């Protein structure tokens, strides 16, 4: 189970229950509502690994595409 408080504190961006954190592989996405859903997406948008279902991942990627400009700070 994820440590939601720690992930939230360290996130570069939080949108609609998903925490986004940059790392050396790209961007790691945590579903704060599910507490088990995690995905890693490369900088070019390629999915590296995930345990999210297709709908959950689709929603997370949509939020990332719309709000990625806010992670550039």
**What tens digit of pLDDT does each residue of 2-52 get?**
788 999 999 999 999 999 999 999 999 999 998 889 999 998 889 999 999
Q: What pTM was computed for the model? A: 0.90
Report the run of H or E that residue 15 belongs to, with start and end.
Answer: strand 13-15
- CA–centroid distance for 21 within its chain: 6
């Amino acid at each position: 189970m994820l440590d939601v408080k720690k992930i939230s504190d360290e996130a570069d961006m939080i949108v609609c229950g998903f925490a986004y954190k940059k790392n050396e592989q790209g961007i790691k996405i945590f579903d704060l509502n599910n507490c088990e859903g995690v995905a890693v997406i490369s900088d070019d948008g390629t999915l590296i690994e995930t345990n999210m279902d297709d709908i959950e991942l689709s929603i997370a990627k949509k939020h990332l595409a719309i709000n990625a400009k806010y992670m550039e700070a």
